[in-house]
Amino acid sequence: MGRIAALTRNPVMIALVASLAIAGCASKKTPNSAADLGLSGAGAATPGSAQDFTVNIGDRIFFDTDSSAIRADAQTTLSRQAQWLNQYKQYAIVVEGHADERGTREYNLALGARRAAATRDFLIAKGVSAQRLKTISYGKERPVAVCDDISCWSQNRRAVTTLGGAGS
């Protein structure tokens, strides 16, 4: 609990933790991507690569309980995302909306969809073309953190901006 609380106060650290989780997951799905993602070192990512996006920009934002409002810290992340996405226009984008487990299944599907839409709308307002953006809700079906307390729930209430339609 204490460690996680400290992490959430440090956006750089949380981005790093998140990117490791992604790399692990992506490497299972597409073996070739491990090399592409430059697992040898976070700072070594090629500018404009997916690894650059997840590590140096931050591919996810977090929400308060039962809320789809874009928090101040999330606005900072999304503004960085928009700037990057406007620079590297070759990527199609899927925004995934997720919920924590402290809600019922169907409601959380709707809540995840609302979070994905709010994230998409923010990116559009920052100049990202609506044509590049799709959304999908996973409700509470794909948690990244699997403990049964607040530290995990806050990491699961998220929207993840994925490039080229690759899943997280």
Partner 1 sequence: MKRFFATLLMIGTVAIGLSGLATLPAKALVEIDVNKGNIEPLPIAITDFQGGDALGAEISGIVSADLKRSGLFAPIDKSAFIEKISNPDASPRFDDWKVINAQALVTGSVGKEADGRIRAQYRLWDTFAGQQLSGEQFFANDANTRRVAHIIADAIYERLTGEKGYFDTRVVFIDESGAKNARKKRLAIMDQDGANVRYLSDGRAIVLTPRFSPNRQEITYMSYESGQPKVYLLQIETGQRELVGNFPGMTFAPRFSPDGQKVIMSLLRDDGNSNIFAMHLRSRATTRLTNSAAIDTSPSYSPDGSKVVFTSDRGGRAQIYVMGADGSGQTRISFGDGVYSTPVWSPRGDLIAFTKQTGGEFQIGVMRTDGSGERILSTGFQQEGPTWAPNGRVLMFFRDSNGGPKLVSVDLTGRNEQPIPTANFASDPAWSPLLE
| Interface residue list for partner 1 (CB under 8 A) | 66, 68, 101-107, 109-111, 113-118, 121, 136-139, 141-146, 148
Q: How far is the CB of 6 from partner 1 (least distance, A)?
A: 23
Exposed/middle/buried for residue 4 (C-beta within 10 Å: 0-12, 13-18, 19+): middle
CA distances (Å), origin 94, targets 40, 43, 123, 152, 166: 26, 24, 12, 23, 8
Q: How far is the CB of 8 from partner 1 (least distance, A)?
A: 19
Q: How far is the CB of 25 from partner 1 (least distance, A)?
A: 8
For partner 1, give the closer residue by CB, 45 or 111. 111
Q: How far is the CB of 47 from partner 1 (least distance, A)?
A: 30
Q: How far apart are CA 70 and CA 59, in angstroms?
A: 14
**Of the candidates 98, 145, 148, 95, the residue with the CA atom closest to the CA atom of residue 124:** 95
For partner 1, give the closer residue by CB, 81 or 156. 156
For partner 1, give the closer residue by CB, 55 or 116. 116
